[in-house]
């Protein structure tokens, strides 16, 4: 039997996803589902370094 989530329940996790996506510049947002229900939202942010900020290679 399938469970239809209440509209407020859906709006709640969708808003969390929107907030996490809008806060990211580079990264990912992962939605975890358990038994057909969103139970967790995770975000991972990447920090990009400019090419000129890496240390120069040491010459031998």
What would you report as the CA-atom Rg of the chain, rounded to the nearest whole angstrom? 19
Determine how many CB atoms are found less than 10 A away from the CB of residue 14: 13
- pLDDT above 70 (res 55): no
**Of how many residues is the chain composed?**
60
Q: What is the pLDDT of residue 10?
A: 77
1-50 pLDDT per residue, tens: 455 667 777 789 999 999 999 999 999 999 999 999 999 999 999 998 88
- pLDDT above 90 (res 51): no
Residue 16's H or E segment, with its range, is helix 7-23
SS3 percent helix, strand, coil of the chain, rounded to 5, is 35, 30, 40
- pLDDT above 90 (res 58): no
Q: What is the pLDDT of residue 53?
A: 60
Structure tokens at 22: 């809008």
């Amino acid at each position: 039997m399938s469970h239809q989530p209440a509209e407020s329940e859906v709006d709640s996790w969708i808003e969390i996803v929107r907030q996490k996506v809008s806060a990211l510049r580079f990264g990912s947002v992962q939605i975890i589902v358990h038994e057909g229900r969103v139970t967790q939202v995770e975000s991972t942010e990447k920090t990009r370094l400019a090419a000129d900020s890496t240390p120069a290679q040491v010459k031998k």
